[in-house]
Amino acid sequence: MFEKILIANRGEIACRVIKTARRLGIKTVAVYSDADAEALHTRMADQAVHIGGAASADSYLRIDRIVDACKDTGAQAVHPGYGFLSENADFCEALDAAGITFIGPGVKAITSMGDKITSKLLAKEAGVNTIPGYTDVIDGADHAVEIAREIGYPVMLKASAGGGGKGMRVVWNDDECRDGFERATNEARSSFGDDRVFAEKFIEEPRHIEIQVLADKHGNAIYLGERECSIQRRHQKVIEEAPSPFLDEDTRRAMGDQAVALSRAVDYSSAGTVEFIVDANKNFYFLEMNTRLQVEHPVTELVTGQDLVEHMINVAAGEPLSLTQDDVELKGWAMETRVYAEDPFRNFLPSIGRLVKYSAPAESAHVRVDTGIEEGSEVSMFYDPMIAKLITYGENRDQAIEHMADALDAYHIRGVSHNISFLNALIMHPRFKAGKLTTNFIAEEYPDGFHAADVPQSDPVVPVAIAAVVYVRHQQRVHEISGQTHRFEPRGHNDWVVIANKTHYPVTVDEVEHGFEVTHKDHIYRIKTDWQFGDALVRAEVNGHEVTVQMDDHKAGYKAFHRGAETELLVLSPRAAALHDHMIEKEPPDLSKFLLSPMPGLLVRLSVQEGDEVKAGEELAVVEAMKMENSLRAADDGVVAKVLAAEGDSLMVDQPILEYE
């Protein structure tokens, strides 16, 4: 067994690998860039080595520097995590040449499964179901139309070297096919330096279901059940679960057997994932094989009781698998949500900055948090904006969902925008609860984007009642102040009006043994809580049910966060509430004459100057954030009156760039 391993990655996956290595008694080496000098993974590891600048190309993608780090620290093996160099054959060969073990599959598996055309041909030879299509390279737009007609519309055009949804187009007729081929080819060329495109039948009502495989260097290979990954946004997974609510035992076994057959065909060793697309009739077709650990591997670990990272390390050390297919048993249900620094109410724009407040839900038998950050950490523009993976477990799917909703309520993040409201809305959606999932779920349910009104509230009075209790607790403390002038001593009363998002809720608050009773329209909310002044989370028992509400001071009242919904709350006496209706609201300033930066980022290009006439749709500026360039265009015709920012400026969200006349 290895004495020391290096983790060629960062963030939550680096921390997750370190935890298993530490449990196994293996020393660890972390690598870090300029941006990650104070990152959590660098402090968790036994050693940390600086490998370059903040950009991935200057650090985490530098094979030579990672190999040198292994030599300098005496690391005998490298775990690549996922992303970066995890599926890079050149990295594997460089490690091999240096006498360092790669904790992953061999070069043959990586290269053959890394090309979508080659992998599909190999899958077909191994007896794996493949989607009807044309696996050779398409030679021009007319050829694409000819092939599409033979397959039958709709057809998916895909870049051979593609990934992350790039170089992919669904076409429904000849005209769309010609246009889609040109766009897919151009995207593939610019994104991957490889403009090869192939075609396959587009599966309607598709589910994305993947099989976890595990194989050693002695010819043993098994599968550890499936993961349902159908909830996606722009081809990026959002929620994953195990098992799938759709599969039956026969389909699971058939998919698992084919996944193992493909693993054997490429001499696979280590943990890997074979991804399938499944139609409404449970017909399944090979999609691709990921020759690495998947982001969503924890859900498989919870339902099988296996540590996949431990198995990867053991296999890399030459040990045979410690379990057989008969030993694999699926118990309970697990679900994972990806908590990102992004604003779902602004078309999921990435959010960067410092986490000024951060506390994750307490880990337990039902809750697991995989993260690489802590309070004070910074979400950088240089890397993926994932904050954490939140995983919950239950005896059944309903329990896993309920634990997830509770855990999301308890996830306290301030300083950056986050997608917790969106995640909560998804898991509480009736269609999601019913398990009626497809990869089109988000596009179908939120066709116009995600809005505050899309967040369901099972009982909007719960945060109202909690706010009333918190306010009364504050009032009780005020009453205890000594030395108050007699005529100004506060007078206690029980009747209040809570204004929640402009709606009035008359309530009566009575202190009773072990808590409070809040009455609204003859309905009593019995509340027990050990909340203390200064606590951001109000954990309470409301009518016998455990509830967590995040409560921040906001203006003259509070802002509550519960089940994904944000509620502005103001607690007033009945007389003050009546007068409040006559208050004049301050109108927000008119910003229509400004071009505002929609996200924090770098102004890389300014396409106009003062005095220029611009037409609707014309590019005005380009802002770079999270390694992506975002073109900002004119909404209407106009004239540029002032330029308020310069190329190279770091912009804050809503910072003015231009002003129109």
Catalogue the active-site residues: 288
3-state helix, strand, coil split of the chain in percent (to 5) is 30, 35, 35
Joined tokens for residue 518 = 């809040």
What DSSP designation does 415 have?
S
Closest by CA position to 211, among listed 158, 112, 160, 277: 277
Supply the DSSP string of 464-515, one letter for each residue: HHHHHHHHHHHHHHHHT-SS--GGGPPPP-SEEEEEETTEEEEEEEEEETTE
Please report the beta strands in 175-235, taking only residues with DSSP state E, as ranges in sequence order: 197-201, 207-215, 221-233
How far apart (Å, rounded) are the C-alpha atoms in residues 589 and 415?
24
Closest by CA position to 289, among listed 439, 77, 155, 105: 105
Strand pairing class (537-542; 523-529): antiparallel
Distances (CA, A) of 462 to 105, 377, 413, 496, 507: 51, 32, 21, 15, 12
- Residue 307: is it exposed, middle or buried by C-beta count within 10 angstroms (0-12/13-18/19+)? middle
How far apart (Å, rounded) are the C-alpha atoms in residues 101 and 239?
33
How far apart (Å, rounded) are the C-alpha atoms in residues 409 and 563?
6
By residue count, the chain amounts to: 661
How far apart (Å, rounded) are the C-alpha atoms in residues 227 and 271?
14
Joined tokens for residue 237 = 């997974």
How far apart (Å, rounded) are the C-alpha atoms in residues 392 and 400?
6
Which residue's entry shows tokens 């990867």?
312
How far apart (Å, rounded) are the C-alpha atoms in residues 430 and 436?
9
Q: What dihedral do alpha carbons 466, 467, 472, 477 form, nearest 10°?
A: 100
- Which residues are CB-neighbours of 64 under 8 A, at least 6 positions away? 94
Strand pairing class (4-7; 27-33): parallel
Residue 605 identity (one-letter amino acid)? R
**Quick one: residue 387, left, alpha or beta (phi over 0 = left, psi -120 to 50 = alpha)?**
alpha
Q: 10 Å Cβ neighbour count for 326?
A: 7
Joined tokens for residue 292 = 């690495």
How far apart (Å, rounded) are the C-alpha atoms in residues 181 and 188?
10
Please report the beta strands in 372-422, taking only residues with DSSP state E, as ranges in sequence order: 378-379, 386-394, 412-414
How far apart (Å, rounded) are the C-alpha atoms in residues 224 and 211?
7
